Amino acid sequence: MFKKVFLALLFSPGLALADTLNQANTAWVLTSTALVLFMTIPGLSLFYAGLVRSKNVLSVLMQCFAITCLVSILWLAGVYSLIFSDGGDAQKVIGGLSKAFLPDINTTALVGDIPETVYFMFQMTFAIITPALIVGAFAERMKFSSMLWFSGLWLILVYLPVCHWMWGGGWLADLGAMDFAGGIVIHVSAGVAALVSALVIGRRKGFPSSAMPPHNMTMVVTGAGMLWVGWFGFNAGSALTSDGHAGMAMLVTHIGAASGSLTWMTIEWLRFGKPSVLGIVTGMVAGLGTITPASGFVGPAGALVIGITAGVVCFYATQYFKRTLKIDDSLDVFPVHGVGGITGSLLTGVFATSSLGGMGLAEGVTIAHQVGIQALAIIVTGVWSGVFSYLILKVLDKWLGLRVTIDEEVQGLDTVLHEETGYLDL
């Protein structure tokens, strides 16, 4: 029962939880909103931009920036409404359009005990970073126009329904699926879309025979640090309160990131003889993505196990997809975010139980039953994202073409698509 009540408190925007504004909660969610947007611009932007070759650094920065703008307008135009407003008889599947363009919004409208304007902005930052994550899969070879169309259509056809099913009063929430801050809604959906994108668009010229190392590791670490700090808004902000729930979510998020980092670093050190900076920051991202669905439901010990598991599973997933299958998911979006989201969502069903230090499962629900529900939510989300990502990509390929030409790819997207360069030759 605790879980269902807790989810209702968190993710039912139409639920009147209070008659008056709570200034402390409002201040925290305002701060969290800024932190989550900070994760995309500049955090993810710098992280991804440093990982690509120097001739493509601006293209990645441009993609993250443009997605931020595009998703913001689509969110206002109706995506927010279709996720978080009353859908009537279709409520379990989709919301309505009563909140499109926010016709009745004012400074006194509340969602729970925070302003609806703040809730709108907070949820919007989640919608922004999700398609931005997918950019890493087709970096260095996708047309800018096709990227924009893909991101917008994917937001509407994939993110919108999945988010409603889980957080907008849809059928996955009714089923009892647990996803505190986006392990399924964000990381599984984006990770599967990234894998499909990498397969459909094909490998970069020279992959895997030619080395394509990050061009600026200083930029990568700077972006990674911003992601770590911003993730506190991502997870702890999802409590929508400035109380012990937010504090616990922040604590377990930090433990997950730290343990994921150290685990990945240790494996690399033992296997290759030296610990790499790229490895420790990638382990951090894996730990953060994996703890995300569990962050409001588990305790510190559970977070430690989840973080260590993330470091191991995501490391070997990355090696397998890159070296064995030779799939050119340029910046390892699926093996880090997708596999991490799957792993964390399954482990949520284990470590949320009170006997293992978690917040507790619903009355009468066993660990096995909860893990089964988690697995079903993962499968449904993965299949939905995979099918629609494939269809969107195929349509765009016929209409606009997905890839730049080989000559343009060799020249670099910065010059070809934007007539600019990231660095001047002095």
Query: Could you read off the pLDDT of 243-293 as tens digits, one per residue?
Result: 999 999 999 999 999 999 999 999 999 999 999 999 999 999 999 999 999
Q: Does residue 209 lie in a domain region? A: yes
Q: Does residue 425 lie in a domain region? A: no
pLDDT score, position 11? 41
Cβ proximity of 264 and 270 under 8 Å: no
Q: Does residue 410 lie in a domain region? A: no
Task: Spell out the residues 6+ positions from residue 389 whose beta carbon is closer than 8 angstroms to its own.
Answer: 154, 158, 192, 193, 196, 197
Q: How many domains does the chain have?
A: 1
Phi-psi region of 419 (alpha: psi -120 to 50; beta: other; left: phi over 0): left
The DSSP call for residue 136 is G
Which residues does residue 114 pair with via DSSP β-bridges, in sequence order?
111
Q: How many CA atoms lie within 13 A of 340 on its CB side?
A: 35
Q: Which residue has the tokens 């995501």?
A: 314
Of 50, 128, 70, the residue nearest 330 (C-alpha): 50
Q: Does residue 418 lie in a domain region? A: no
DSSP 288-314: HHHHGGGTTT--HHHHHHHHHHHHHHH
Cβ proximity of 192 and 385 under 8 Å: yes
Residue ranges of the chain whose pLDDT lies below 50:
1-17, 426
The Cα–Cα gap between 226 and 252 comes to 18
The Cα–Cα gap between 166 and 238 comes to 14
Cβ proximity of 306 and 294 under 8 Å: yes
Q: Which residue has the tokens 């931020």?
A: 68
Cβ proximity of 138 and 201 under 8 Å: yes
Cβ proximity of 363 and 353 under 8 Å: no
pLDDT score, position 375? 98
How many CB atoms lie under 10 A from the CB of residue 276?
A: 14
Pairing of strands 114-115, 110-111: antiparallel
Q: Does residue 413 lie in a domain region? A: no
Q: Does residue 271 lie in a domain region? A: yes
Of 235, 82, 238, 72, the residue nearest 164 (C-alpha): 82
Q: Does residue 408 lie in a domain region? A: no
Q: Which residue has the tokens 């392990």?
A: 183
Distance of CA 407 to the CA centre of its chain: 33
pTM of structure: 0.95
The Cα–Cα gap between 136 and 231 comes to 18
The domain of 393 spans 2-401
- Check which CATH number belongs to the domain holding 16 and give it: 1.10.3430.10
Q: Residue 111 is inside which H or E element, if any?
A: strand 110-111
Phi, psi angles (nearest 5°) of residue 92: -70, -15
The Cα–Cα gap between 47 and 61 comes to 10
pLDDT score, position 424? 84
Q: How far is CA 326 from CA 184, 320, 329, 362, in A?
A: 25, 8, 9, 42
Q: Does residue 415 lie in a domain region? A: no
What do you get for the CA distance between the two ends of the chain, in Å?
65
pLDDT score, position 5? 37
Beta-sheet strands, E only, within 275-395: none
Please, what's the b/e burial string for 183-198 (b: 16 or more CB within 10 A of its CB; e: otherwise)?
bbbbbbbbbbbbbbbb
